[in-house]
Structures are given as C-alpha cells and as structure tokens.
Amino acid sequence: QVQLVESGGEAVEAGGSLRLSCSASGRPFNMYVLAWFRQALGKEREFVAGVDKSGVRKNYADSVQGRVTISRDDTKNTAYLQMKALEPEDTAIYYCAARYQPYITTDATTYDYWGQGTQVAVSS
C-alpha cells in the first residue's frame, strides 16, 4: 500500500501559477502509476493528468492540455502538478491517486489509493 498526501493548493488569481505536490509513503514509489484528479463543487471527479511508472509517458485532460505538467521524483517520493494560466474553471479539490497496474487510465475507479485532496481556488 501507499499513503498519499497532497499539498500546495491555495487561492490564486486567474492567470497565475501553482504547483501541487503529492508526497507518498509506504511501498516503493516507482511501483505506482500516479495521477491527478479534480472535483469541483457539484461535479463528478475528473481526470487531470497521469504519469506512468517510468515517468516517461504522460496523459493530460483536454481541459488542461498545454497549461499543466505532471512529473514525479521517485527519489523524493513526490509527484507534482505544475499549473499555469489558471482559470476559474480550474477551481476544485485536487486529488493525487496511485494504482499498481502499469497503465495510465482516466477512470478514477481504477486507482487504488487516494490522498485527502488539496483545494485550489482561482478567482477572476
């Protein structure tokens, strides 16, 4: 198992940048595919970005393509979501998720472990 803790969420003005972190503990970090999901008030949880176990393959939702970079540093047991050009529509609770199976998926139900979430609020 792996434990995940997100941090870095805060209130930011539109157009700003933010870096979210996902700190992991437990089994070796490089055994997991990592992803970021977000859930806005009254909406379903949606996929934002994912990175495979090697850190090479990445997948992004269309809504954040070009504005978001996912990365992982297995030496620090940490994954990151770097966001720029933030929009009010990016306001949500952002969750880090991990799964052992070796493919990035956009389906939240396929991920085995979740952090508690970190709030991002983008004001116009």
Residue type, 47: F
- Residue 61: the pLDDT is 98
Q: What is the CA radius of gyration of the chain?
A: 13
Neighbouring-strand partners of residue 22: 6, 79
- Residue 1: the pLDDT is 85
- Residue 114: the pLDDT is 97
Residues 33-63 have pLDDT tens digits of: 999 999 999 999 999 999 999 999 999 999 9
- Residue 29: the pLDDT is 86
In the chain, which residues have pLDDT < 50?
none
